[in-house]
Amino acid sequence: DFRGYGSAVPLPAGFRGPDSVLVLGGDPHDPNTYRLSGGAWTTEEPRAFGRTQDDTLILPDGTLLTVNGALSTRDYGHGPFNPQADLSYRQIELRDARGHWKLGPSQRLPRGYHSNALVLPDGRMMVTGDELQQIANDPDIKDAMDGSIELYEPAYLHRGGARPALDRVPGGELGYGAGFEVGSSTAAAVTRAVLLAPTTVTHAVNTSQRHLELPITGVRGSVIGLRTPPGAADAPPGYYMLFLLDARGVPSTAKWVKLGGRR
């Protein structure tokens, strides 16, 4: 079926990078999500309702977050406000590690066409952008463009206690399949290390999302040994946010590392 302004997300799959893609959104009448893996399609658990022009992000803990959306595509400002763009399109949706979706809180404004979302190094989400024509019947919306920013704090930032600390990372370029060390004053509590690619999103599609788990090769005092992915097919060259996570799924504030050196 035709899907207009929908999302496609490479699903986290461990050390070797994604091995499947989740396709969702782009059809206001179809809340289902579809998974492409090994050349075959399967229908996954649906979201609460269909929406277009939404943005779906991979979070540091490997779960997914959908923000923004509208009933349908815009008519470049020439149509009436969409009478069905109700509060539901402002609600975020969250997908856990088992693939189950649930509704979250509502955003302050509806955000559809030309909206954006990205993961910040501190673990929060920044949501912005929109052309508000034809996505709401809110009489208070007069300006067609909205330049406001909203910040969303996932539940993992409200679990109490101290967050893991990432104090030091290597300053140079990291080769593939290579061991390296990072410094952490909470090294004993760290159970996972994750690379998350920076966001490059337009028209509801994030073209650079990637989530990779790094093997922890050892812990010695405040030093954690890690290993980079095997090759560029697993993690294309470039900059990544490195997060450390504890057993509760709480991430550290990320630091930037660069992959790309030859093995």
The CATH number assigned to the domain holding 41 equals 2.130.10.80
Is 181 within the bounds of a domain?
yes
Per-residue pLDDT of the chain (263 residues; tens, 9 = 90+): 667 788 899 999 888 889 999 999 888 888 999 999 999 999 999 999 888 888 999 999 999 999 988 776 654 444 445 544 556 778 889 999 999 999 999 888 778 777 889 999 999 999 988 765 544 445 555 555 667 899 999 999 999 899 999 999 999 999 999 999 999 999 999 999 999 999 888 777 888 899 999 999 999 999 999 999 999 999 999 999 999 999 999 999 999 999 986 65
Is there a contact between 48 and 67 (Cβ–Cβ < 8 Å)? no
What pLDDT is recorded for position 78?
45
Q: In what order do the strands lie in the sheet with 33-37?
A: 6-10, 21-25, 33-37, 40-44
153, 180: one domain: no
Residues 73 and 106 placed together within one structural domain of the fold: yes
pLDDT at res. 84: 46
Q: State whether 108 and 67 are in the same domain.
A: yes
Domain shared by 24 and 150, yes or no = yes
Tally Cβ neighbours within 10 Å of residue 173. 12
Phi-psi region of 89 (alpha: psi -120 to 50; beta: other; left: phi over 0): alpha
For position 17, what pLDDT does the model report? 84
pTM of the model: 0.89
Residues whose CB is less than 8 angstroms from the CB of residue 42 and which lie 6 or more positions away in sequence, other chains included = 34, 35
Cα–Cα distances in angstroms (integers) from residue 10 to residues 29, 62, 99, 114, 192, in the given order = 23, 11, 13, 21, 20
Does 53 share its domain with 137? yes
Report how far residue 19's alpha carbon sits from residue 1's, in angstroms, rounded to the nearest whole number.
23
CA 37-43-47 angle, to 5 degrees, is 120
pLDDT at residue 83, as a whole number:
46
Q: Count up the domains in the chain and report the number.
A: 2
Could you give the angle at the alpha carbon of 135 between the alpha carbons of 132 and 138, nearest 5°?
A: 80
Show which of 158, 182, 204 is a domain's final residue: 158
Domain that holds residue 210: 173-261
Burial of 190 (0-12, 13-18, 19+ CB in 10 A): buried
166, part of any domain:
no
Looking at the domain assignment, is residue 1 inside a domain? no
Give a yes or no: residue 123 inside a domain: yes
Q: Identify whether residues 85 and 180 lie together within a single domain.
A: no
**CA-CA distance, 234 to 14, in Å (whole number)?**
10
Q: Examine the domain organization and report whether 64 and 143 are in the same domain.
A: yes
165 in a structural domain: no
Domain of residue 189, CATH code:
2.60.40.10
Q: Same structural domain for residues 109 and 66?
A: yes
